[in-house]
Amino acid sequence: MSFEINDIVRPNIRQLTPYSSARHEFSGEASIFLDANENAFGSPLAANVNRYPDPLQLALKEKISSIKGVPAGNIFIGNGSDEAIDLLYRIFCEPGKDNVILYPPTYGMYEVCAEMNNVEVRKIPLLENFQLNLDATAEMIDANTKLIFVCSPNNPTGNSMHKADIETLLNNLNGLVVVDEAYINYARQKTMIPELTEYPNLVILQTLSKAWGLAGLRIGMAFAGEPVITLLNKVKYPYNISTATQQLAMEALNNISSVNNWTKSTVEQREWMAGQLLLLSFTQKVYPSDANFLLVKMENARKIYEFLAVRGIIVRDRSKVILCDDCLRITIGTGDENKQLLAALKLYKA
C-alpha cells in the first residue's frame, strides 16, 4: 500500500502556521539575548533557568540518538508519552468524523485522549492469548480509521504482540500504527525501531519513566519518519520540556550501566516472583510477562487487594477489566519489597 502522510493530516493542521519563538528564528552563536523578555539578571535557582529552554531539545535528542541508533530528526520528545498520544489525535483525527482502533485490555490514555478529542473509538478485544485479532480488525477498518494503537509489551497483560501481526496492520492501513514500547527494556522481543525505514506509517512510543527510573521528569519519546516528527513539532507547545528536565535527563542518560543492572535485576525478580506466587493456594494463574509487572489471576482478587492495602502494600486491581477477571497487576519491586509482599500474602486466608 502506498502511504502519503498528507492524505491523513487534518486540513487545518496542514495549513497551520505554528508559533515561532525567537529561539526558533535564530541559529548560530550569541552572547547577548534581548529577544524573549526574560529576566536578564538571573534566577534564585540554578543557572540558565532564567532563559527559555531549547524548544526542540536538540542536545537531548542527540544523546537519545546515540543510544537508540535513530537520527535526531526522527525523534520527538514530549511531556510524557501522553503528550505524543494527544498530539497524534489532534494532527490526524477530525473530531466527530474519524475513528481509531484500540485492543482492550490496554493502556487507558488511548481512550481518554480519544474522548477529549471527540474521536470515535472502535474496540477490538484481544484474543484469549492476549494477541491481536486481525480478522476483526480487517472488518472494523474503514476510510476514516486514522490511528491504531498497539501496546507491546501490553499493559496490563504484560505480553509482547507478534511482530508479524503488527506488520500486517502496517501493510494494510492507510493511517498510522502507533506501537507503544514503554516496557521494551524488559522484553525478550526487540524494538521495532529498525522498521521505521521500511514503514512511513509507523510511530513508536518509548519513555524514560520505566527502566530509566525518570517517571517524575515526564519524558516521553516518539520515533517516526521526519514528516510525522515535523508535524508533532508544529503542533506542540513551544517550550514543552523545561530546562531542568532536559538537564536531568541528559545526566541520567550517561548512566546506562546502572539502568542495565536495574533491568537485569527486575527481570530476575520477575521470574522469581512468578514462581513464588504460583505456590500460593489462591493463585490460579501467573501470565507470562515481558514487562516489569505480572498479571496474576487470584481467587477473589478484590478482597486480596483490600487485604494488602490495609497493610500499606498497593497493587493494581484489574479484576473489572475485560479478559482480566479476578486479576491483580503487581509491579516488580526491590528484592526486599517483593519479599514483604509475599510475606503479607502468606498471611491471607482465602
CATH code, 190: 3.40.640.10
> Of the candidates 93, 58, 91, 89, which has an alpha carbon nearest to the alpha carbon of residue 75?
58
Residues 206 and 284 in one domain: no
Predicted confidence at residue 173, as pLDDT, reads 96
* Neighbour-count burial for 110-147, b at 16+ CB within 10 Å, e otherwise: bbebbeebebbbbebebeeebbbebebbeeebeeebbb
Predicted confidence at residue 26, as pLDDT, reads 67
Q: What is the pTM of this model?
A: 0.95
Residues 141 and 235 in one domain: yes
The C-alpha cell that represents 143 in the structure block: 476510510
Residues 69 and 12 in one domain: yes
The C-alpha cell that represents 333 in the structure block: 519491586
Residues 81 and 43 in one domain: yes
Give residue 75's domain range: 5-254
Nearest 5°: CA angle at 295, between 275 and 278?
25
SS (H, E, C) the chain: CCCCHHHCCCHHHHCCCCCCCHHHHCCCCCCCCCCCCCCCCCCCCCCCCCCCCCCCCHHHHHHHHHHHCCCHHHEEEEECHHHHHHHHHHHHCCCCCCEEEECCCCCCHHHHHHHHCCCEEEECCCCCCCCCCHHHHHHHCCCCEEEEEEECCCCCCCCCCCHHHHHHHHHHCCCEEEEECCCHHHCCCCCCHHHHHCCCCEEEEEECCCCCCCCCCCEEEEECCHHHHHHHHHHCCCCCCCHHHHHHHHHHCCCHHHHHHHHHHHHHHHHHHHHHHHCCCCEEEECCCCCCEEEEEECCHHHHHHHHHHCCCCCEECCCCCCCCCEEEEECCCHHHHHHHHHHHHCCCC
Backbone angles phi, psi at 148, to 5 degrees: -125, 125
Please state, in angstroms and rounded to a whole number, the distance separating the CA atoms of residues 52 and 60.
15
Residues 112 and 218 in one domain: yes
Nearest 5°: CA angle at 172, between 136 and 12?
105
Residues 173 and 245 in one domain: yes
Residues 221 and 305 in one domain: no
Mark which of 194, 222, 254 sits at the end of a domain.
Answer: 254
Residues 250 and 294 in one domain: no
Lookup result for grid cell 500504527: 177
The C-alpha cell that represents 37 in the structure block: 523578555
Q: Average pLDDT for consecutive 10-residue bins of the chain (350 residues)?
A: 89 92 70 87 84 94 97 98 98 98 98 98 98 98 98 98 98 97 97 97 98 97 98 96 96 95 98 98 98 98 98 97 98 98 94
Residues 81 and 187 in one domain: yes
Beta-carbon count within 10 A of 258 CB: 12
Mark which of 236, 254, 272 sits at the end of a domain.
Answer: 254
Residues 263 and 246 in one domain: no
Residues 188 and 50 in one domain: yes
Amino acid, res. 34: L
Backbone angles phi, psi at 314, to 5 degrees: -105, 120
